[in-house]
Structure formats: C-alpha cells, structure tokens
C-alpha cells in the first residue's frame, strides 16, 4: 500500500508504449485526461536499455509507493527477463525465473517499494 | 570525515543509519522525516557530545518548558529521546566512525550525581535545584566515564548547570573541529562582520567576492562600515555596501535582496574554517534555481580545499537538479557528493552517488 505522498510512477520505453498505456486506461474507464494528476506518473524513458539502467535507482527512490516498468517482451524473452531479474534482485526484489503472462508485482523488502513489471 | 552516522532512540528515530556519506551530502525527504534531527545528531557527534550544542538545539526549536519554581523557561531535553518521554532510565545513542555518544537520563540513581559532584547537597541548596534525575553524557569530550549534570522538573536543564559543565569540558573541547550550523535565516550583520574580518586577515576576501558574483556578476567590491558613524535617519551605524559596475553609488547589501545576504553568509562560513563540519539547513532558501549548479561547485570545491565535510538539507527539486547538473559538468568532483534520501519507513538512508543522481534527474525520478 502506498504510504508516500509522492506519486507512483510507470516507466515506459517510448511514445508508442505511453499511448498504449493511456488507451488501456481509457478502455478500462479511467478518465486519464481529467484525472492525470491523481494517477501514477507515466514517464517516457527513451529506450529499453535506459529503462533497464534506471531500474535499481527507481526502486531505491520509491519507498512507500509503487514503481512499474513496461518493457517489450521481444528478442529472446528469456534474455530480457534475465536482465530485469538481475537488476531487481540487487534491490532486494524476489523475481521468478521465468516471466508470468499476467505480469509481475512484488515488494522490495529493503526499500519498501512496490515493484511491477 | 564521517562515513556513517547511526542513531538509536534519538528524536523521531527508534533506530536509523545515515550511510555512504561523502564530503558533501544533500539530505532530502518529506516533512517530518527527520532531516533536521540528523543534522543535529551529526553536529553533536562532530562536537564530541558537547552538551551546550544539545541545549542550543532545544532553544532553537522552542523546546523549553516553563518552570513554576523559577518563573522562567528552561531547555527541556526530554524531546531528544524517542517518543518525547523519559522513563526512569532512557538512553539515546549517536555513533560515528570515531565517536560513540551515549546520552541518558536516569531518575533511579541520584547517587551518581552525588558522586560526580562531591557536596552535591550544597550544590543543590546553593542553586535551589530540586534535582529529580541526572543527565549522563558519555563519549567524545565527556570521556568514556561521562559527565553527569542535574536535571530538574522532569527534563529541564538549569542554565547555571551549563557553566559548571563548560568548565569541566573546556580542555577536551578545545581540540575538536569547528562545527558550523547555518539555519535558513541569513546571518546577522554582526556575524557577517566577524566572518568578514577573518576573511580579510586570511587574505581570502576575493573568494567571497567571487562567490557573490554568482548572483551579482556586476559586483566589484564589498565594503564594511565599521560603525564609527553615528546612526541617523539615513541609515544605521554598521552596514555592508556593494560596489557594482554601472552604479554611481555603493548599494547597501539589504537593497539587493535576501539571496545576496544568504550567499554572502554561506561564502563566509565556507572559508572560515579548515578541517571542519558545516551543516546547512534548507541550503537553497532565498536562492534562485538558476544559480544552483554554481553554488554546488562553490561548496564542493571549497569543502575539498578546506578539508571540510558538508551536510545540507532541501525540499526543492531545483536544488536536486542543480546538484545533478553540477555532477554532469564536473566529473572530476563526482565522488565528493552524495544524495541521502530519508524516509520514516526505512532504518537506513538511501544513498545516491553522482551516477545515480544524474540518472534520477534524466529519468525525472522523484528523489525528494
């Protein structure tokens, strides 16, 4: 549960991902345009590599709130997942060996942040 | 230089560790997360547990309690202990690389007090002190056996006790490094005058002028009025005048904005001492965001040259962004800084070093 007054955030690779998330929200009845400031902040990071590079710092600085990462599940998915797993394990998040079709949500025990991929 | 500070039962912290410290450290976090308490603990540690610092902090925070016996307010040290209350025996610990301070209040054993002050009964009588507990400070200037001072009326310290205390620790505190603690309010004119005298004597006044040029590039010189002129309707007896390019008259410091006064105080404090610790609460108060990278450069470079360790706090994203910008522009100084995120939910600060400070800025992470 979020305890910080700061907003939760979702890191996405590029503009396409940003629009995809906004459309998903709207499709599910979330009035994104008018409620944008109340919702988690969507951050366009620029590329998959940049999302991966910033992952640990983002978890470390998200105590008391949620931090999510949206990454393309392309080019051997095992490699991509392993890159995520290695980084999240360094910030005390227990990550399964293979990605789950429904997505992944867990807590960082050390930094007390909720992490989603 | 401190690489860590550990607290136990101090202020709002049941247990906390400030870790991964560098030469210049910026503390960030939500309101009431304990940033100022950490500055206080660091000050106490650097001052070797000098009780007078504890009392100064109590006064600055308005933590005084009215004594009906004396009809005045005395500093109330109960607020330094976790939960603001003192049981029969309460203890706070502050631990750093080379010092371990133990501050405790004990209501159960006044014999310690009597042993520490032979003839305690007469002391009590002469000061009219209804002693109901003792405050024991161990470590640092107080020595490993510690120093005991009487506490009256449930946590208050009588001012006259501090005189006795000062006499006891005078020689021990002489060798401690200077510790400066700067509040958001700018220095008084008297303080600025004293520090300026030192800058002139040590031939470092040009460094102060250079620092002030960050805000006012037209600045040529600074002049201090000694107070020899009689105060009249056109101004006070003492003052600071600035000589600016393109101005036919010298401008009083007060006429150029609070930022200049704040920066002047900061520059003077930075060059005042070597081998010291400087604590800057709300470092960016009164300063425009655009000067932040240059301000950080001034602080880091001066701290390095003077072998000084700096601890600052802020709530401002501009101040954090300024630090990131400074790290980008000065890769050679990157290892000198850390950003310490303080959270009530964690027992340890989250320390970011230059690479992560830059990354957090680039990815617009909220680190405050």
Interface residues from chain B to A (CB-CB < 8 Å): 30, 341, 343, 345-346, 350, 352, 356, 359-360, 362-368
Selecting from B345, B356, B360 the residue whose C-beta is nearest the C-beta of A112 gives B345
More confident residue, B232 or A106: A106
At B77, give phi and psi (nearest 5°).
-85, 0
What does the alpha-carbon distance between residue B215 and residue B264 come to, in Å, rounded to a whole number?
10
Q: What is the mean pLDDT of residues A84-88?
A: 97
| Torsion B351-B356-B361-B364 (CA) sign | negative
CA gyration radius, chain A: 14
pLDDT at B126 over 60: no
**Chain A nearest CA to B345, separation (Å):** 7
What does the alpha-carbon distance between residue B297 and residue B329 come to, in Å, rounded to a whole number?
9
A7/B352 Cβ within 8 A: no
Nearest to B352 by CA among B368, B362, B333, B339: B339
Partner B contacted by A37 (CB < 8 A): no
What does the alpha-carbon distance between residue B11 and residue B92 come to, in Å, rounded to a whole number?
9
pLDDT at A60 over 60: yes
Give the lowest-confidence range in A30-34, B133-137, B156-160, B193-197. B156-160
Percent of chain B with pLDDT over 70: 91
Q: What is the mean pLDDT of residues B156-185?
A: 78
Question: What is the per-residue pLDDT for B84?
Answer: 85
Kindly list the residues from chain A whose CB atom is less than 8 angstroms away from the CB atom of residue B339: none
CA gyration radius, chain B: 23
- List, in order, residues 6 or more apart from B102 with CB less than 8 Å away: B91, B92, B93, B136, B137, B138, B139, B146
CA diameter of chain A:
39
What does the alpha-carbon distance between residue A45 and residue B363 come to, in Å, rounded to a whole number?
6
Domains of chain B (ranges, CATH numbers)? 48-174 (no CATH), 179-362 (3.40.50.300)
Average pLDDT for chain B? 87
Query: Per this entry, what is the length of chain B?
Result: 368
Give the lowest-confidence range in B63-77, B215-229, B230-244. B230-244
pLDDT band at residue B176 using 50, 70 and 90 as cut-offs: confident
Q: What is the mean pLDDT of residues B209-222?
A: 93
pLDDT at B122 over 60: no
Range with top average pLDDT, B150-154, B268-272, B362-366: B362-366
Contact predicate A40/A30, CB 8 Å: no
Question: What is the per-residue pLDDT for B72?
Answer: 81
Strand-pair partners of B182: B280
- Whose tokens are 């393109």? That residue is B246
Percent of chain B with pLDDT over 90: 50
pLDDT at B100 over 80: yes
- Whose tokens are 């990071």? That residue is A45
Question: What is the per-residue pLDDT for B177?
Answer: 77
What does the alpha-carbon distance between residue A94 and residue B360 come to, in Å, rounded to a whole number?
23
What does the alpha-carbon distance between residue A14 and residue A36 come to, in Å, rounded to a whole number?
18
- List, in order, residues 6 or more apart from B266 with CB less than 8 Å away: B182, B211, B280, B283, B295, B299
- Whose tokens are 């000061």? That residue is B127
Question: What is the per-residue pLDDT for B311?
Answer: 97
Give the lowest-confidence range in A25-34, B166-175, B207-216, B300-309. B166-175
Selecting from A4, A61, A112 the residue whose C-beta is nearest the C-beta of B365 gives A61
Question: What is the per-residue pLDDT for B125?
Answer: 57
Nearest to B104 by CA among B92, B88, B116: B92
More confident residue, B178 or B252: B252
What b/e sequence results for B173-187 when a residue is b if at least 16 CB atoms lie within 10 Å of its CB, and e otherwise? beebeebbbbeeebb
A7/B345 Cβ within 8 A: no
């Amino acid at each position: 549960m979020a305890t910080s007054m700061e907003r939760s955030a979702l890191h996405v690779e590029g503009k396409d991902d940003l629009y995809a998330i906004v459309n998903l929200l709207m499709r599910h009845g979330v009035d994104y345009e008018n409620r944008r400031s109340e919702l988690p902040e969507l951050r366009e990071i620029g590329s998959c590599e940049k999302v991966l590079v910033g992952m640990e710092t983002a978890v470390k600085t998200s105590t008391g709130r949620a931090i999510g990462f949206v990454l393309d599940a392309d080019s051997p998915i095992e490699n991509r997942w392993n890159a995520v797993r290695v980084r999240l394990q360094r910030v005390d998040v227990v990550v399964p060996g293979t990605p789950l079709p429904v997505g992944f949500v867990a807590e960082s025990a050390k930094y007390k942040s909720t992490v989603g991929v | 230089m401190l690489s860590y500070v550990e607290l136990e039962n101090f202020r709002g912290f049941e247990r906390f560790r400030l870790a991964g410290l560098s030469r210049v450290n910026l503390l960030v976090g939500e309101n009431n997360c304990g940033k100022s308490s950490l500055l206080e603990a660091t000050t106490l540690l650097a001052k070797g547990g000098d009780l007078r610092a504890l009392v100064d902090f109590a006064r600055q925070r308005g933590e005084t309690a009215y004594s009906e016996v004396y009809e005045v307010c005395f500093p109330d040290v109960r607020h330094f202990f976790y939960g603001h209350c003192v049981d029969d025996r309460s203890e706070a610990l502050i631990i750093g690389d080379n010092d371990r301070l133990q501050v405790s209040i004990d209501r159960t054993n006044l014999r310690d007090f009597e042993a520490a002050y032979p003839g305690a009964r007469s002391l009590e009588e002469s000061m009219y002190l209804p002693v109901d507990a003792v405050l024991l400070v161990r470590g640092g200037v107080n020595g490993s056996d510690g120093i005991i001072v009487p506490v009256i009326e449930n946590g208050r310290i009588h001012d006259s006790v501090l005189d006795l205390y000062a006499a006891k620790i005078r020689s021990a505190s002489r060798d401690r490094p200077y510790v400066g603690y700067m509040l958001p309010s700018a220095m008084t004119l008297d303080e600025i005058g004293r520090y300026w005298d030192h800058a002139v004597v040590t031939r470092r006044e040009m460094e102060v002028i250079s620092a002030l040029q960050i805000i006012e590039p037209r600045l040529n010189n600074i002049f201090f009025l000694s107070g020899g002129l009689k105060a009249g309707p056109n101004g006070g007896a003492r003052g600071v005048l600035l000589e600016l390019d393109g101005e036919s008259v010298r401008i009083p410091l007060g006429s150029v904005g609070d930022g200049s006064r704040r920066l002047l105080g900061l520059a003077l404090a930075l060059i005042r001492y070597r081998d010291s610790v400087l604590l800057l609460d709300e470092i960016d108060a009164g300063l425009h965001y655009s000067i932040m990278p240059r301000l950080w450069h001034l602080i880091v470079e001066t701290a390095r040259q003077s072998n000084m360790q700096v601890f600052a706090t802020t709530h401002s994203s501009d101040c954090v962004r300024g630090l990131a910008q400074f790290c980008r522009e000065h890769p050679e100084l990157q290892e000198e800084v850390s950003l310490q995120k303080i959270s009530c939910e964690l027992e340890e600060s989250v320390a970011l070093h230059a690479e992560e400070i830059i990354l957090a800025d680039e990815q617009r992470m909220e680190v405050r």
